[in-house]
Structure 1
Amino acid sequence: MHPARKEIIDRLRRDCLRIWHKGVEAVRPQNCILRHVQVQRDVLFVGGREFPLDRNCYIVGFGKAVLGMCDALMNLLGHHVQRGILSVPTGSVFPSRKPSPHTPLPSHPSIQVYEGAAENLPDRASLLAASRIQDFVQGLQASHVCLFLVSGGGSALLPSPKPPVTLEEKTETTRLLSAVGANIREVNTVRKKLSTVKGGRLGGMLRGEGVGFVLSDVVGGGMEAVASGPTVPDEDPPGRAMEVLRKYSLERRVAGSVLEAVGEMGTREGGGRVINVLVGSNRDALEACAKEAEGMGYRAFVLSETLVGEAREVGRGLARLGRFLLEGNGEEARRLGVEYGLDCEGVSRCSESRLALIVGGETTVTVRGDGVGGRNQEMALAFALECEGVEFCNGEMCFMSAGTDGVDGPKGGAAGAVAYPGQVEEARGEGMDPGGFLERNDSYSFYRVFSGGVDQVMTGHTGTNVMDVQVLLLHFA
């Protein structure tokens, strides 16, 4: 790569990372709680309601962001919180050891913490945590106020299979749905039917009042789908879960107990006396990204907060969008926007020399190979491959896709990756076959090896989770 071009790409890479990190900062759980909660003279104000405080608060949390949410509430409520229990991902609190049951949270000893769901999958540790959480909620009195902290990852951290369904059968059902490309709402629709706590059932165990603080990781921000909605009434119509299994031809691939549970009509579950408040979502992250980009001298456009579809196809589409804009082909850019659900009307008419296109949502990956990937890295690699062999005479562009939770895929240790025109050619110069990595769904391995991993985004757990954020920067010559 020519030194002058490399300098531009390096700067764009740094700018992508800075913009993305600012988006993640905006949805740190502490910030989200402080935007929606006030405490004045021993009264809790939240969601348009007032709750008198008299050492009567109890905290229950499950998800990737609940540690920060808990910390914010503890600082606000102080001695009014009597006890609490949290289920968080393995390594969140104790990175070097596995905590024993009833391990106190170091910063707040009255809060018991359980770690589990290694690799984002339910396991025996999270099953134990779910059992303890149910006991905790059922033991509260009518005078107690239960503060539920709910965030992405909560489904795996609160597994409670409905007998006779086993944990292994439920986990395998989730794996099958993910492998065929089912979106998160479809997965949750099925999971709710297989659980004793999802779909409002946990909230229904309360004798007193409760508040659900929900940090959304689902497209559109719907609270009922976050962690499969343990505190939100299930509004799915009867038979919807079976429709999902049939859509993907899974009726004969799931266990008989799963099919039986999904086939039960039953009645819609309530959420008890719980009010639910959406404290943060992907929109908040995107708006913060756009504001940061504008401050850095870019003209920023938020194209979508509901990006869905096959990750590799979306990556290819975004690469074409960038190329059309660099070529000044606004008509093709608008057409492509319609195809992918992107609002390209404004950016297609913009004449600024530096553009930042911000997108958010959650794509899916249909597994074809046996590699280690993640939807964000797969999207980035597909973006790079789409740029192969294309002459970019009017400027440069750089693309980044990463999960706001810092984890891309069930086994990868990366958050996402950065891609740009010329990346594939460089990889081939290192003796790599980028197309082969993509076909094996092995994008993690590609970015781990290519150029010493410089384009792989490694953050570790960020402590929050509002789906994915994509940043596409264009620099016109």
Structure 2
Amino acid sequence: MSTPTPQRELLQRMFQAAIEAAQPAHCIPACLPRPPKGRLVVIGAGKASAAMAKAVEDNWQGPLSGLVVTRYGYTVPCERIEIVEAAHPVPDAAGLAAARRIRDTVSGLSADDTVLCLISGGGSALLALPLDGITLEDKQQIARDLLKCGATIGEINCVRRHLSAVKGGRLGAACHPAKVVTLLISDVPGDHPGDIASGPTVGDATTCEDALAIIRRYGIALPPKARAILEHGIGESVKPDDQRLQGNETHIIAAPQLALEAAAGVAREAGYTPYILGDSIEGEARDVGKVMAAIARQVQLRGQPFSAPCVLISGGETTVTVRGQGRGGRNVEFLLSLGVALDGAAGIHALAGDTDGVDGQEEVAGAYLAPDSLARAWALGMRPKDSLDDNDGHGFFGALGDAVVTGPTLTNVNDFRAILIAAPAPT
């Protein structure tokens, strides 16, 4: 592990501030609906859903009941809302059973009832109920292929919506005639409600043909039944003008921009000028790393477009097309690409991590990059470019002792990236 430095400690405090800003306990109370004439039924899915449910219980005065599903290890004990766990990012039988139970929970409600739906990132995998004819094994393989192919989260969720019995507005339609109030913690670029957990309660304007185009674009081999569902329009989602969705409410209560602003405040207090470059940056993680390295060097060498000392902050969701034998992970791939491009530039430090505490399929949030990271890797016999080519960012930073491990954060507002430029380059 590299020696702790003031720069590393600052970056870690910024990351923690970003996570803290999106905690459900801060965001839920002001957004609760008015008490209904009938029942309040709470449902939900996502990595933050259990913490969201606990915040509802702590701030709701009347009776309530419900069921939410969260990722293994992300449970928060509740008294009136049942919490179940399932797998993410590849769904399992527990997620399928939970989705079926949640759909059953909202069946048969009246117009006097209100459904409070708590949705956060990860809900797509956790709320796993495929259309008839698609097996769980089919869904698991489709999920793996989509995650590895380099598709954006918007493209992945478009396919998911058209192969699901609950996504793409279907769960919202199942609640009719009860009113649905959906509270969202956004983990997607652009904060589009239909892309957060694949929009189980909101109308979807995309089509089966759109999903097929994505399948063709990335050369994904769908099981025959799944392809037939798309080709024949059987998987068409619920559209925004569907009468069963009218009168419902959807509120984004936390989003990446909020988290980035909290981190910027920490940097400012430490004497570094923060610059938020964007909260919805997409693209291949290694390409984003190269671009960010070029910007950082321009700042350091030319004082353009900003002057050091400063911190460049960004969010969004990059992708990794896994071609090597490594474990992927978009934040560590970004950092490794950044490090290779910077080539040990003095005075530039960086941290990147997923605010849910899980980068890719690893129980690791991300990593820290120091000016001497490449030199220490060479000393250990590692070749940074080879690690990058092998999509082995986790192995690289793990060997250096610079992985960032948070454990379950109980929220999810996507990726956090910060590049600290301590001072201009000496002349």
Give the TM-score normalised by structure 1.
0.83
Matched residue type, 2:85: E
Q: CA offsets, 1:342-369, max 9 Å, x none? A: xxxxxx1x44x42011100000000011
Go from structure 1 to structure 2 and tell me whether the alpha carbon gap of 1:161 and 1:246 turns closer, same or farther (over 3 Å shift): same
Matched residue type, 2:97: L
**Distance in structure 2 (CA, Å) of the matches to 1:402 and 1:430:** 24
Pairwise mapping of residues 275-424 of structure 1 onto structure 2 (< 5 A)? 275-328=249-302, 330=304, 348=305, 350-351=306-307, 353-388=308-343, 392=346, 396-410=347-361, 412-424=362-374
Deviation at 1:54, TM superposition (A): 5.3
CA contact (8 A) 1:12 1:397 kept: no
Q: CA offsets, 1:50-103, max 9 Å, x none? A: x3445721110110011121111112213331x11010111223xxxxxxxxxx
Pairwise mapping of residues 21-40 of structure 1 onto structure 2 (< 5 A)? 21-37=16-32
Q: CA offsets, 1:214-240, max 9 Å, x none? A: 111110001111111000001114511
SS in 2 for 1:156: helix
Partner of residue 148 from structure 1, selected from 100, 103, 117: 117
Aligned partner of 1:335 in structure 2 is none
Aligned partner of 1:136 in structure 2 is 105
Deviation at 1:434, TM superposition (A): 2.2
Aligned partner of 1:59 in structure 2 is 42
CA contact (8 A) 2:37 2:113 kept: no
Residues 435-444 or 396-405, more deviating: 435-444
**Distance in structure 2 (CA, Å) of the matches to 1:107 and 1:154:** 19
Matched residue type, 1:264: H
Aligned partner of 1:256 in structure 2 is 224
SS in 2 for 1:13: helix
**Distance in structure 1 (CA, Å) of the matches to 2:323 and 2:148:** 9
CA contact (8 A) 1:68 1:463 kept: yes
Runs of at least 5 residues in structure 2 that lack an aligned partner in the other structure: none
Q: CA offsets, 1:8-44, max 9 Å, x none? A: x81111111111111111111121213434xxxxxx4
**Distance in structure 1 (CA, Å) of the matches to 2:113 and 2:60:** 14
Matched residue type, 2:289: G
Aligned partner of 1:217 in structure 2 is 187
Go from structure 1 to structure 2 and tell me whether the alpha carbon gap of 1:106 and 1:151 turns closer, same or farther (over 3 Å shift): closer
Deviation at 1:139, TM superposition (A): 3.9
**Distance in structure 2 (CA, Å) of the matches to 1:248 and 1:209:** 39
Q: CA offsets, 1:295-323, max 9 Å, x none? A: 22111111111111111111122122111
The reply to whether residue 164 of structure 1 matches residue 138 of structure 2 is: no
Go from structure 1 to structure 2 and tell me whether the alpha carbon gap of 1:208 and 1:15 turns closer, same or farther (over 3 Å shift): same
CA contact (8 A) 2:368 2:404 kept: yes
Aligned partner of 1:69 in structure 2 is 52
Matched residue type, 2:423: F
SS in 1 for 2:115: strand
SS in 1 for 2:260: helix
Go from structure 1 to structure 2 and tell me whether the alpha carbon gap of 1:356 and 1:262 turns closer, same or farther (over 3 Å shift): same
**Distance in structure 1 (CA, Å) of the matches to 2:233 and 2:274:** 48
**Distance in structure 2 (CA, Å) of the matches to 1:91 and 1:304:** 31
Matched residue type, 2:418: V
SS in 1 for 2:62: helix
**Distance in structure 1 (CA, Å) of the matches to 2:359 and 2:345:** 31
Partner of residue 72 from structure 2, selected from 90, 102, 124: 90
Matched residue type, 1:448: G
SS in 1 for 2:137: helix
SS in 1 for 2:313: strand
Deviation at 1:185, TM superposition (A): 0.5
SS in 2 for 1:79: coil
Partner of residue 107 from structure 1, selected from 71, 75, 78: 78
**Distance in structure 2 (CA, Å) of the matches to 1:367 and 1:380:** 16
Give the TM-score normalised by structure 2.
0.93
Aligned partner of 2:11 in structure 1 is 16
**Distance in structure 1 (CA, Å) of the matches to 2:166 and 2:205:** 15
CA contact (8 A) 1:30 1:69 kept: yes
The reply to whether residue 426 of structure 1 matches residue 395 of structure 2 is: no
Deviation at 1:290, TM superposition (A): 1.2
Deviation at 1:329, TM superposition (A): 5.6
SS in 2 for 1:70: helix
SS in 2 for 1:191: helix
Runs of at least 5 residues in structure 1 that lack an aligned partner in the other structure: 1-5, 38-43, 45-50, 94-104, 331-347
**Distance in structure 2 (CA, Å) of the matches to 1:382 and 1:308:** 15
Size of the aligned set, in residue pairs, is: 416
Matched residue type, 2:366: G
Identity in percent: 35
Q: CA offsets, 1:145-182, max 9 Å, x none? A: 11000110001111111011112112212221221200
Q: CA offsets, 1:132-151, max 9 Å, x none? A: 11111114333221100011
**Distance in structure 1 (CA, Å) of the matches to 2:326 and 2:265:** 37
Deviation at 1:374, TM superposition (A): 0.7
Go from structure 1 to structure 2 and tell me whether the alpha carbon gap of 1:355 and 1:139 turns closer, same or farther (over 3 Å shift): same
Aligned partner of 1:471 in structure 2 is 418
CA contact (8 A) 1:194 1:261 kept: yes
Deviation at 1:268, TM superposition (A): 4.9
